[in-house]
Amino acid sequence: MGSINKSATQLNATVLSNKRVGSYHQILINVGDVVKNCRPGNFVAISVGGDSSKMILRRAFAISRVSENSQYGGSMELIVAPHGSGSKWLCSLPEGTEIDLVAPLGTAFGIPTEPINALLIGGGYGSAPLFGLADVLKARNCKVDMLLGASVGAKIYAPLEGKRSVNSLKIYTEDGSMGEKGRVTESLLEIVANRSIDVIYSCGPMGMLRAITELVSATDVIHQCAVEESMACGIGICMTCVLPVEDENGQVAMLRSCIDGPVMDGSKVKWELVGQVPEVHS
């Protein structure tokens, strides 16, 4: 079992900007030197609702990317969908608001030491962390292709930015309103073969992650996925985000997504057992 990210720091950070981008909000936060320890795949846990809020637990949000400049120092970008009360509160914050956060948390994507052919697959706003990852991979001289998918075109995050970040971008929507009609898994094996893909990095709905894992199971492709299991505390205390994962002995262990993930080896996750209580071996 893992432990909380040793680089994690709690701090009061200032909202630098909060912009609506399609169906989502792009929120930029001044976090100072914390950016030096942030890696693609890490997330942040934010205290939401203000001082009088009844929302006691922090909310976890994937870190899209981080940057450093002379004006702000270190800044962190989040892409947030205003669904629940916590995310709606965060999306409503004006510039200059101070928020209480803990970062960086969780495991990061494994970055190759040698140039490889990488395929990044994102579903909805789950694609946001992949843009920062693409920057890191390109800096390592990797060839980076990207597939983005969503139910409708409005839920594809920043398609123009995606085109600038990677060697090639293909978009799928279930209703055909943007790109090709269908899902990101439609031609996956053909793309893997034609582009000699070595590693797939994915982030999005659990059903998508499972489908990718099953499709590449008979290939030599490594699948690193950032799981979207609901995290209530973000620091491994509440045990609400556990997932069944095969350990080195072939036994199924219930691992915490916030501590042992969110980035996991897709081939080790027992997708068919997600949401079930596994048998206990005595």
Higher pLDDT: 110 or 240? It is: 110
Average pLDDT over residues 19-45: 93
**The two three-digit tokens of residue 201, written as one number:** 């990095």
Using one digit for the tens of pLDDT, what is the confidence trace for 132-179? 999 999 999 999 999 999 999 988 887 767 677 799 999 999 999 999
**What's this model's pTM, rounded to 2 decimal places?**
0.91
Report the candidate in 117, 124, 268 with the shortest Cα–Cα distance to residue 183: 124
Query: Domain boundary at 187, 204, 228, which?
Result: 228
Let me know whether 65 and 80 are in one domain. yes
pLDDT band at 278 (very low <50, low <70, confident <90, very high): low
Shared-domain flag, residues 208 and 187: yes
Q: What is the mean pLDDT of residues 245-272?
A: 91
Question: pLDDT averaged over the chain?
Answer: 90
> With 90 as the cut, is the pLDDT of residue 127 above it?
no
Q: Select from 188, 209, 228 the last residue of a domain.
A: 228
Per-residue pLDDT at 250: 84
What is the extent of the structural domain holding 136?
109-228
**pLDDT tens digits for range 47-102:** 988 776 777 788 899 999 999 887 778 999 999 989 888 999 999 999 999 999 99
Cross-sheet strand order for the sheet of 143-150: 180-181, 168-173, 143-150, 117-123, 199-203, 222-226, 263-265
- Let me know if residue 245 belongs to a domain: no
- The model's confidence at residue 261, banded by pLDDT at 50, 70 and 90, is very high
Q: By C-alpha distance, which of 230, 199, 194, 229 is closest to 212? A: 199
Pairing of strands 180-181, 24-30: unpaired
Identify the pLDDT of residue 138: 94
Q: Is residue 203 part of a domain?
A: yes
The average pLDDT across 18-38 equals: 93
Residues of the chain with pLDDT > 90, as a percent, come to: 68
Same domain, 91 and 26: yes
Number of H helices, E strands in the chain: 6, 15
Read off the tokens for 170: 């293909």
Domain endpoint, select from 105, 135, 157? 105
Report pLDDT for 249: 85
Distance CA 250, CA 178 (A): 42
pLDDT of residue 180: 93
> Other CB atoms closer than 10 Å to residue 97's CB: what's the count?
15
The CATH number for 180's domain is 3.40.50.80
Which pLDDT tens digit goes with each residue over 207-218? 999 999 999 999
Report the percentage of the chain scoring pLDDT > 70. Answer: 96
Cβ neighbour number for residue 155 with a 10 Å cutoff = 21
169, 148 in Cβ contact below 8 A?
A: yes
Residue predicted with more confidence, 204 or 55: 204
Same domain, 206 and 116: yes
Whether residue 22 is predicted with pLDDT greater than 60 in this model: the reply is: yes
Structural domain includes residue 249: no
Q: At 200, which helix (H) or strand (E)?
A: strand 199-203
Question: Does the structure show a pLDDT above 50 at 282?
Answer: no
The verdict on 65 and 176 lying in the same domain is no
Q: Within this chain, do residues 126 and 220 fall inside the same structural domain, yes or no?
A: yes
DSSP labels, 122-187: EEGGGGHHHHHHHHHHHHTT-EEEEEEEESSGGGS--HHHHHHHSSEEEEEETTSSSSEES-TTTT
Same structural domain, 120 and 224: yes
